[in-house]
Amino acid sequence: MAADPPTDASSRPGFRSGYVALCGRPNVGKSTLLNALLGEELAVASVLPQTTRERMLGIWTTDRFQAVLVDTPGIHRAKSALNKYMVAEALRGARGVDLILMLAEVPSFPAGPEGAAAAAEWEPGPGARAVVERLAELVAGQGPRMVLVLTKCDLLADRDLLLPIIGKWQAVHTFDAVVPVSAKIARGLDTLRAEVEGALPEGPAYYGPEQLSDRSMRWHAAELIRAELFARLGQELPYSSAVTITDFKELRERDRIDALIHVERSSQKGIVIGAKGRSIKAISIGARKRIEALTGRPCELFVEVRVTPGWTKDPKKLDELGYRAQTEVAGSPELDQTGGSND
């Protein structure tokens, strides 16, 4: 389902607006869902967990409402400075909103009696339970509604197995609603839209009808270069790379961008550059196409690779790369660092 065309209807009586946080464990499909609702490839989405590092607002404007979607990093047990920063970003993104969408991936069961037996024995894992507990603290009393969004439901062989899965989740927390979705095939998005609209208070839009994000194009350019890195080198270089934009010029007929890819070791620099520069060339071409698709303008992109030793562990270096490191993050031993979305 593509986003409705933006309008200037926010001054009409009955128009609704508010903030909606997309929360959950790593790799449950938060960014993919945001992109599906907006109808734009705005957030970096990857099959790898912990792709999202910072909060980003995706602005979903229709002729009836404006939902400011807060895309957050996955909530997990944080050890390094980068991971602590990411969890702090996620929890801050869930505060002060009108609705929390708690995303959890549907478990995969085979069809038939074997699948039914597996679904009957299945329980949400301790990591997922701990995330719900953290979010429940935010909605206690007179906090926002919390809706459970079961993602990737197209992977479930027997849709009847959704009922026992929903029952297990409702035993963990009494959600205000449960919506199974598949962003990939646009299943359940209309139902989710109704839940979002109903949770928003009446009021004018926060942003202009044409605005899709609170972030600058400079920030999005860095994210799109990082997306290309994940797409091409995700197995060799999953979490040791960062991107900064050193220069961004909007010229009359095109954009000109200079970027730095930061890695932690010289061996990683060699991986990014590749034999005879083939890898960095392919990354640059792919990233340029992503940027042009978002801006609608031609782009000249110049990328260099720099070794920044230990940047993921050093709060000062994180700050220099644009990540405002947090020194204190309330932890939970049940939030394991790299496990699956519902484990």
d(CA 285, CA 301): 8
Q: Helix, strand, coil proportions of the chain in percent (round to 5)?
A: 35, 20, 40
d(CA 193, CA 65): 10
Q: What is the mean pLDDT of residues 89-114?
A: 81
Architecture of domain 217-320: 2-Layer Sandwich (3.30)
Q: What pLDDT score was predicted for residue 261?
A: 93
Q: What is the mean pLDDT of the chain?
A: 81
Q: Are 51 and 128 in contact (CB under 8 A)?
A: no
Residue ranges for the known binding site are 24-31, 71-75, 151-154
Residue predicted with more confidence, 240 or 15: 15
pTM of the model: 0.70
| Cβ-based neighbours of 6, under 8 Å, separated by 6 or more | 61, 62, 209, 210
Residue ranges for the known binding site for GTP are 24-31, 71-75, 151-154
Q: What pLDDT score was predicted for residue 49?
A: 41
Q: What pLDDT score was predicted for residue 257?
A: 96
Q: What pLDDT score was predicted for residue 143?
A: 76
H/E stretch holding 222: helix 217-233
The phi and psi torsions of 309 (rounded to 5 degrees) equal -60, 135
Architecture of domain 9-199: 3-Layer(aba) Sandwich (3.40)
User: Has residue 52 got a pLDDT over 70?
Assistant: no
d(CA 225, CA 199): 35
| Cβ-based neighbours of 209, under 8 Å, separated by 6 or more | 6, 7, 8, 10, 61
Q: Are 45 and 51 in contact (CB under 8 A)?
A: yes
244-289 per-position pLDDT tens digit: 999 999 998 999 999 999 999 999 999 999 999 999 999 999 999 9
Domain ranges of the chain: 9-199, 217-320
